[in-house]
Chain A
Amino acid sequence: MIKTIIIDDEPLARSIIIDYLQKYPDFEIVAECGNGFEGLKAIMQHQPNLVFLDIQMPKITGFEMLELVDEMPAIIFTTAFDEFALKAFETNAVDYLLKPFDQERFQKAIDKFSSANPKQTQKQTAAALESAQSHALNERVVVKTGNKIKVISIYDITHFSAEDDYVNIHTLEGAFLKSQTLSFFEKTLNHQLFVRVHRSYIVKVDQITKIEPYEKDGHLVILRTGEKIPVSKTGYPKLKAVLGI
C-alpha cells in the first residue's frame, strides 16, 4: 500500500484528489489535512510515501511546512497560481498539478511518482524548495519547538549561527534550533537586511552597533544585545557593501 496524505485548506480541492485517487486501489489515504500544522503532525505520525501539498495555506505555507519535515516524502504540489513556485518546479523537474486539473493529468503525475527514484525526488524537491523560498522574500521563519510550531518574524531576529547540522536562530526572546544549513538562510533572506559575515554567522544589519578590528585582518561586530560576532576576511567586504561604507 502507498500511504498518501492530502494537505489543502479548501475542502473541495481535497475532495477532487480523493475522487481521482479512487481509481488506484494501491493508494491509501491515511490523512486529510486543512493546514500545515495538521499536515506536519500527520506526516510525522504516518510517514507517508506520497503527499499532495497545496502551497497557499493558513498560518504557514506548504513550503514552510516542508522545511520542518525531517524525512521528506515524495511531494506532488497542487497550486492554482504561484509564479515563483512554478519556476522553481520547472527548473528542478519537480512535478506539480495546476488547479484545476483533470484525471488525465493526474494520471501522469501518479505515473511519474511510481517510476521515480525516491532519493532523487527528495533532492529535487529540496532544491525546488530552496529556490522557491529565495524568491519569496520571506518576512518570517518557521521553527519547531518540541511539538509546537513557532513563527518568528524576521524583525525579531538578531543573528544566525551554524551548529553542526543545525542553525541556531537568535531572537530577542531566545534562540531556536532548526535543522537547516546556513547557506539556505543566506539565499532565502533579504540581502539588504541579513549579511553572512562569517562561515558560521549571519547577522541582521540593523542589530550592529559597532565594528571593531580584531587580531590581524579580522573584525568583530558588536550587536545591540552585546554579543560579539567574528567577521571573516571575505565577510567584511560584503558587510561594508550593505552598510554603504
Chain B
Amino acid sequence: MATSPLTNKKFIWAFFASFSIWASLQCYGLVALGIPQNIALKDSLVTQLELALLCWLISNNLSFYQPKGSKYIYVIIWAMVLASAFIALQKFTFPHFAYADNGLENFYLKSLPIRFIFAFLLIGCMATISILWYNQQEQQELEQRKNEAERLTKEAELSSLREKLQPHFLFNSLNSISALTISKPEQARKMVHQLSDFLRGTLRKDDTLSTLEDELAHLHLYLEIEKVRFGNRLLTEINADQSILQKQIPPMLLQPLVENAIKFGLYDTLEQVTIQINAKFEHPYLIVEVMNPFDKETSHSNKGTGFGLASIQRRLHLLYSRTDLLSTQSKQNQFISTIKIPQT
C-alpha cells in the first residue's frame, strides 16, 4: 500500500488552509445574500468539515486501490456518489434544520445544486491529486528497483571478473618459479612460459564459444602449473574421445570447475589426489564430469564447494537461461560436478 498524501506534513497544511479559506468564502457569500451571521457561520463550518471528511475518505480509499486504464470514469463515478452522499448528509442533518427553523428552507433548497456541484468538483479534484500522487510514488519505487537491479548486475560482472584471476594461484605459482630459478632454472623458464600462456587465455574478454580441444589445452597448462606447485601429490586423468574435440563450450568454464576440484581435493586429504575429467557427448549435450576425492569425516566441502561453483552456475544461467546445467553429487569418497553444454 502506498502512503497517503495526508501523511505528508506540507499537504496536511495545504488541506487545512484551503478548507479554512472555503469556509470563510462560503460564510461571506451567505452573509452577502442576507443570511443571519450565526447561521451562515455554522453552515459554512459544518459543510466544509463534511467535505474535508469526504476528501480524506476518497484519498485513503485510493491508497488501497488505484484504478488502471479507465481511471477518470472511476473518479467521476466516485465523486458523484460521494457528492450525493454529501447532499443527503446535509439534507438530513444540521444545515437544513437550521435554515428550516428560521423560515429559510426555500433558500436552502435552491442552494442544493450549487452545493452538489461544489462537492463534486472538490472531491473529483482531491481524487485526481491523490491518483497523481500515488502514481508518482509508484514511479519512484520503480526507479529505485531498476537502479538496484542495475547495481547488482554490475557487481556480479565485476566479481566474476575478479574470480577469473585467482590471486592465490598466481602468487603461489610465482613463488614456485622463484624457487626453481635456484635449483632448476630450465624448469623455471618453462613454468614462466606456461603461466604466461595460461594468463593470456584467461584474458579473453568475450563469451564467444570455444572448442573442447582449445579448452582442454588451456586446462592442460593450468594443470601443469599446479603439478609443479603440489609436486607428486596431484595426479590428473583426462578422458575425452577424439570425435568430440570440436564440440562447443564457453571459454574459461572448465578451468574454475577443475580449480574447485583441486582446491577441495587437495585441501581435504593428506594423501595423493587424482582429479579425473571425463568428457562425452550425449545428444544434444556435451557433458563434462570433474571428480575429486573428499573426506566424508570432515566434509565441510559439501557446503564449501558451493562458493566456487556458484559463479559457474551463474555464468551458465546468463549464457543459456537455464539452471539445470550444473549438478553435483557425492559417491563414496568422490565428489562429482557435472556440466552439460547444449550444442547448437
A binds B: yes
A80 close to B175 (CB less than 8 A) = yes
Which of B26-34, B177-185, B193-201 lines the interface with chain A? B177-185
Which of B1-9, B39-47, B263-271, B328-336 lines the interface with chain A? B263-271
A99 close to B175 (CB less than 8 A) = yes
Task: List, in ascending order, chain A residues with CB within 8 A of B170's CB.
Answer: 80
In the assembled complex, A225 has its CB within 8 A of some CB on chain B: no
Interface residues on A, range: 20 to 34
- Chain A residue nearest to B181 (CB atoms) is A16
Total B residues in contact with A, Cβ cutoff 8 Å = 31
- Chain A residue nearest to B182 (CB atoms) is A19
One of A12, A58, A59 near B228 (C-beta < 8 A): A12
- Chain A residue nearest to B191 (CB atoms) is A12
- Chain A residue nearest to B178 (CB atoms) is A100
B269 close to A12 (CB less than 8 A) = no
- Compute how far the CA of A80 lies from the CA of B173 in the bound complex, rounded to whole angstroms: 9
Task: List, in ascending order, chain A residues with CB within 8 A of B172's CB.
Answer: 10, 13, 80, 99
One of A9, A12, A140 near B180 (C-beta < 8 A): A12
Shortest beta-carbon distance, A236 to chain B, in Å? 31
**Which parts of A3-61 form the interface with B (CB within 8 Å)?**
9-13, 15-16, 19, 34-35, 37, 56-59
B229 close to A81 (CB less than 8 A) = no
Which of B179, B180, B266, B295: most chain A Cβ within 10 A?
B179
Task: List, in ascending order, chain A residues with CB within 8 A of B299's CB.
Answer: 153
Interface string of A229-243 (1 = CB under 8 A from B): 000000000000000
Known A-B contacts A59-B269, A140-B298; A15 and B183 likewise in contact (beta carbons under 8 Å): yes
Shortest beta-carbon distance, B226 to chain A, in Å? 10
- Compute how far the CA of A9 lies from the CA of B303 in the bound complex, rounded to whole angstroms: 23
Task: List, in ascending order, chain A residues with CB within 8 A of B297's CB.
Answer: 151
- Compute how far the CA of A15 lies from the CA of B176 in the bound complex, rounded to whole angstroms: 9
In the assembled complex, B304 has its CB within 8 A of some CB on chain A: yes
In the assembled complex, B190 has its CB within 8 A of some CB on chain A: no
B178 close to A16 (CB less than 8 A) = yes
Known A-B contacts A10-B229, A80-B167, A140-B300; A58 and B179 likewise in contact (beta carbons under 8 Å): no
Interface string of A92-123 (1 = CB under 8 A from B): 00000011101000000000000000000000
Shortest beta-carbon distance, B304 to chain A, in Å? 7
In the assembled complex, A164 has its CB within 8 A of some CB on chain B: no
In the assembled complex, A217 has its CB within 8 A of some CB on chain B: no
- Compute how far the CA of A9 lies from the CA of B180 in the bound complex, rounded to whole angstroms: 16
B168 close to A12 (CB less than 8 A) = no
In the assembled complex, A139 has its CB within 8 A of some CB on chain B: yes
B183 close to A56 (CB less than 8 A) = no
B229 close to A58 (CB less than 8 A) = no
B267 close to A11 (CB less than 8 A) = no
Task: List, in ascending order, chain B residues with CB within 8 A of A37's CB.
Answer: 270
B171 close to A99 (CB less than 8 A) = yes
One of A19, A34, A100 near B174 (C-beta < 8 A): A100
B267 close to A57 (CB less than 8 A) = yes
Interface string of B108-131 (1 = CB under 8 A from A): 000000000000000000000000
A56 close to B229 (CB less than 8 A) = no
A81 close to B167 (CB less than 8 A) = yes
A80 close to B171 (CB less than 8 A) = yes
In the assembled complex, B103 has its CB within 8 A of some CB on chain A: no
One of A15, A58, A99, A153 near B267 (C-beta < 8 A): A58
Known A-B contacts A58-B266, A59-B268, A59-B270; A16 and B175 likewise in contact (beta carbons under 8 Å): yes
One of A11, A35, A82, A153 near B298 (C-beta < 8 A): A153
- Chain A residue nearest to B174 (CB atoms) is A100
Interface string of B221-237 (1 = CB under 8 A from A): 00000001111010000
Task: List, in ascending order, chain B residues with CB within 8 A of A57's CB.
Answer: 267
Task: List, in ascending order, chain A residues with CB within 8 A of B230's CB.
Answer: 9-10
A35 close to B270 (CB less than 8 A) = yes
Which of A12, A139, A140: most chain B Cβ within 10 A?
A12
Task: List, in ascending order, chain A residues with CB within 8 A of B266's CB.
Answer: 9, 58
Which of A10, A34, A57, A102: most chain B Cβ within 10 A?
A10
What are 13 A-B contacts defined by CB distance under 8 Å?
A: A12-B176, A12-B180, A13-B172, A13-B175, A15-B179, A15-B182, A34-B270, A58-B267, A59-B269, A59-B270, A99-B174, A100-B177, A140-B298
**Which 10 A/B pairs are nearest by Cβ-Cβ distance?**
A80-B171, A99-B175, A12-B179, A16-B179, A100-B175, A100-B178, A81-B167, A151-B298, A12-B176, A80-B172
A contact set with B: CB distance below 8 Å: 9-13, 15-16, 19, 34-35, 37, 56-59, 80-82, 98-100, 102, 139-140, 151, 153
